[in-house]
Chains A and B, each alone.
Chain A
Amino acid sequence: MSIGLEHYLILSVILFSIGLYGALSKRNAIIILMSIEIMLNAVNIAMVAFSRYIVPELLTGQLFAIFIMVVAAAEAAVGLAIIITIYRNRETIDATEINLMKW
């Protein structure tokens, strides 16, 4: 059995689902952030796989993956900074407690 596009996509879906589950179900803001990183990387795998198997002569997908990594790094930095600020203010990073933005 050779490794094909489907395997990469299934890996990507599994990772994305794990990330989505974590982002929606965990209370700890840091874990939510980590879950988001997992989802982003799942997307990266899918991108690179598509690029490699469907249009090997173009590098668009791989370039996008690099862009996403850059954005993810920036996002992680900003996200962690926000979480630290919230913790300083409210002494919690429980996402269910952070609910000031409601009606």
Chain B
Amino acid sequence: MDFAFWLIFLLPIFSFIIISVFIRPFVRPESKVAGYITITALIGSLALSIWALTEVLAAPHHVVPVESIRWLVVGDLTINIGMTMDSLTAVMLIVVTVVSLMVQIYSQGYMKGDPGYHRYYAWMSLFTASMLGLVLANNLLQMFVFWEMVGLCSYLLIGFWFHRPTAANAAKKAFIVTRIGDFGFLAAILVLFFNTGTFDIGELHGLAVAGTLAGATLTWAAIGIFSGAMGKSAQFPLHVWLPDAMEGPTPVSALIHAATMVAAGVFLVARTFPLFAHSTEALTTVAVIGGVTAIFAASMGLVMTDIKRVLAYSTISQLGYMMLGLGAGGVAIGIFHLFNHAFFKALLFLGAGSVNHATGTFDMRQMGGLRKIMPWTYATFLIASLSIAGIWPLAGFWSKDEILISSWESQPILFYLAMITVFMTAFYMFRVIFMTFGGEYRGGGPEAHGHPHESPPVMVMPMVVLAVLAVVSGLWNVTGQFGAFMGNEAHSFGFFGILTQPLPWISLILAGLGILLAYAIYSAKWLSAERIGRMFSPLYTLFFRKYWLDELYENVIVGKVLLGGFFAGLQLFDSKGVDGVVNGLASVPAVGGRAIRRAQTGQLQLYGLVMGIGLVVIILCVYFLG
């Protein structure tokens, strides 16, 4: 049975090895075999994941014990390769395999004819495998390895079209920014290890619960772990890489945004949640960063004109919700939103890719009128938008409401921010809908070939599957089963019962107002977007320039502080300090030689005299002192 669990992770790894070793060198790039191999491997992983979920559901306390494999022994230190098979892992496995499978099928259409087709599938396999390995890991060291592999794969895939400088830069940016967070994660792992002597997550949980691991150590370790999660999950102030990561192929964005890269950070916090739960400061940090990120990112999403960028900011905002849910409510609430978000966000990105496929652009100002031309894309995109806006009874409604209720109970200020974000979310999503699908077609981008058309079935089919999931995935927790499965008490009011509560009505009304405002501006044209933009021009500029954070990072922090200050200081130290020592050492014999070479007179007898005197001195010394 253990091996079958391992196979969930190993199948995509095999697929990666087969594609990169046998397919890419020997099969011509037009062949679709690499995609079929990846899809087959993922179908296997998905089937095994569903089986694992049933096993976990049936197991006592929802944990299936798995034997660890001893990896290495250094003195007293034993490091195992192990696996956690609990409810959290089982849910994440389903999310990752379902979304990844749908993305791979979709990519068969989207990436058709790309010269890097095999490379694409090799990396996608590795990406999925890394994420599965991360989800399965039972110790921090193993987790960190897969954590970095996820980072590496996102680098490779964001920079997939590496011949475009923007893509190469975006890939570098993603890698470096997340590295900043990873530094905190690594430091936290070391702090925990030096204080407890173990990497095992279960043992660490035990120590935190028992109170052995407590106080400042625990708080700093938790905050270190959270800084890793901030990098990966694009939380303020490390969110800047995510919008730029749109340079990768759109299915990659779907995978990064829904199931792999950014989910890793939320998952990490959920996995180490007992550490956070025993430190109020750390938990509050998570909630505050999450709540602030949610509204901060949403505000930038309001003004973007690139459809993928709107979605990128919406992802950051939704990740903020997840963090808020984790910090204010607990694992079940945060992960439930991750679970639902994965499906509708993957769907939104696949929809954006489909639109791009038809129009050759991501700029919404050049789209419009696609509702009749692409009915399937429109329908699925609409479902996903309603879901993310939190409209009853779609998936997003259930998880978002849990977060709102729990933050109302513990962090009232963040609750208000989250409520405003509900309004913003509904507005920017329907702004996308009306600009893209409503009105008249505005010609498409320069690469548009002829008339736009609906995407092929291979692309539409995964979108339909995800649309179904985006509708129904929220129902898992209608009566609180998901919360119980996660071992978390959660609110449950029932399918209709929730409508008797006041809070859901407030959020529904806010979302409705957001949709109405978007309709008023972008569809009915009762209000002019430009006039409003001019009215709030300072705010508009602030949002549109992304709070000048990119400029702050690039010019001030990197340019002035690092290049101008720190690195210049290092350079000075290098040229004056290090080189100075070496040059100084070299000049000692040179200067000394110049001074004493006068002694070399060539007078043999003088040499003899000096030698004789020296000898006498030595003899006298030995005689008197020795």
The reply to whether B608 and A103 form a contact with Cβ atoms under 8 Å apart is: no
Assess whether A103 is in contact with B598, with CB atoms less than 8 Å apart: yes
Q: Decide: A32 and B605 in contact? CB cutoff 8 A.
A: yes
Binary CB contact string for chain A from 64 to 99 against chain B (1 if under 8 A, 0 otherwise): 000000000000000000000000000000011011
From A23, A100, A101, A103, B605 is in contact (CB under 8 Å) with A23
A103 in contact with B597 given A95-B604, A96-B603 (CB within 8 Å):
yes
Q: How far is the CB of B602 from chain A (nearest CB, A)?
A: 3
Minimum C-beta distance from A50 to chain B (A): 17
Set B598, B602, B608: member contacting A99, Cβ < 8 A: B602
Distance in angstroms from A58 CB to nearest chain B CB is 25
- CB-CB under 8 A from A25, the residues of chain B are 605
Is B621 in the interface zone, CB < 8 Å from A? no
Residue of B602, B605, B609, B612 near A102 (CB, 8 A) is: B602
Within 8 A of A (CB), among B568-603: 597-598, 600-603
Q: Are B602 and A24 within 8 A (Cβ)? A: no
A23 nearest CB neighbor, chain B only: B608
Asked whether, in the complex, the Cβ of B601 is within 8 Å of the Cβ of A24, the reply is no
Across the interface, do B605 and A95 meet the contact criterion of CB distance under 8 Å? yes
Cβ contact within 8 Å between B600 and A96: no
User: Does A20 interact with chain B (Cβ within 8 Å)?
Assistant: yes
Q: Given A24-B609, A24-B612 in contact, is the A102-B604 Cβ separation under 8 Å?
A: no
Chain A residue contacts of B602, Cβ below 8 A = 98-102
How many Å from the CB of A31 to the closest CB on chain B?
11
Tell me which residues across on chain B come within 8 A of A96, comparing CB atoms: 603, 605
Interface size class of B (residues with CB under 8 A): 10 to 19
Closest Cβ of chain A: how far from B604's Cβ, in Å? 6
Q: Which residues of chain B are near A95, meaning CB under 8 Å?
A: 603-605
Q: Could you say which residues of chain A place their CB within 8 Å of the CB of B603? A: 95-96, 99, 102
B613 CB, nearest partner CB in chain A, Å: 10
Q: How far is the CB of B303 from chain A (nearest CB, A)?
A: 79
Give the nearest-CB partner of A96 in chain B: B603
| In contact, A24 and B608 (Cβ under 8 angstroms) | yes
Rounded to whole angstroms, the CA-CA distance of A98 and B608 in the bound complex is 14
Report B-chain residues with C-beta under 8 Å of the C-beta of A23: 605, 608
- Which residue in chain A gives the minimum CB-CB distance to B612? A20
Report chain A residues within 8 Å CB of B598.
Answer: 103
CB-CB < 8 A to B600: which residues of A?
101-103
Is A24 touching B597 in the complex (CB atoms < 8 A)?
no
Q: Are B605 and A99 in contact (CB under 8 A)?
A: no
CA distance A99 to B604 in the complex (A): 8
Task: Report yes or no: A98 in contact with B604, Cβ–Cβ below 8 A.
Answer: yes
Mask of A14-50 contacts with B, CB within 8 angstroms, 1/0: 0000001001110000001000000000000000000
- Chain A residues positioned under 8 Å from B609 (CB to CB): 24
Q: How far is the CB of A69 from chain B (nearest CB, A)?
A: 22
Min CB distance A40 to B, Å, is: 14
A100–B598 Cα distance when bound, in Å, is: 14
Report whether B601 and A99 are in contact in the complex, using a CB–CB cutoff of 8 Å: yes
Give the distance to chain A from B606, nearest Cβ to Cβ, in Å.
8
Collect the chain B residues with CB atoms within 8 Å of residue A100's CB: 602
Give B157 Cβ to nearest chain A Cβ, in Å: 69
Q: How near does chain A come to B58, taking the closest CB pair, in angstroms?
A: 95
Most chain B C-beta atoms within 10 Å of own C-beta, residue among A23, A98, A103: A103
User: Which residues of chain A are near B605, meaning CB under 8 Å?
Assistant: 23-25, 32, 95-96
Rounded to whole angstroms, the CA-CA distance of A102 and B596 in the bound complex is: 12
Output the least CB separation between B607 and chain A (Å). 10
In the complex formed, the residue of A with least CB distance to B596 is: A103
Distance in angstroms between the alpha carbons of A95 and B605 in the assembled complex: 8
CB distance from A100 to the nearest CB of B (A): 6
Q: How far does the Cβ of B598 sit from chain A's closest Cβ, in whole Å?
A: 7
Q: How far is the CA of A25 from the CA of B604 in the complex (A)?
A: 11
**In the complex, A56→B232 CA distance in Å?**
91
When chains A and B are docked, how far (Å) is the Cα of A98 from the Cα of B601?
A: 10
Q: How far is the CB of A35 from chain B (nearest CB, A)?
A: 10
Taking A95-B603, A99-B601 as known contacts, 4 extra A-B pairs with beta carbons closer than 8 A to each other, sorted by chain A number, are A23-B605, A98-B602, A99-B602, A103-B597
10 contacts between A and B (CB under 8 A): A23-B605, A96-B603, A99-B601, A99-B602, A100-B602, A101-B602, A102-B601, A102-B602, A103-B598, A103-B600
State the A residues within 8 Å of B (CB): 20, 23-25, 32, 95-96, 98-103
Q: State the 6 A-B residue pairs at the shortest beta-carbon distance, nearest first.
A: A102-B602, A99-B602, A103-B597, A103-B600, A24-B609, A101-B602
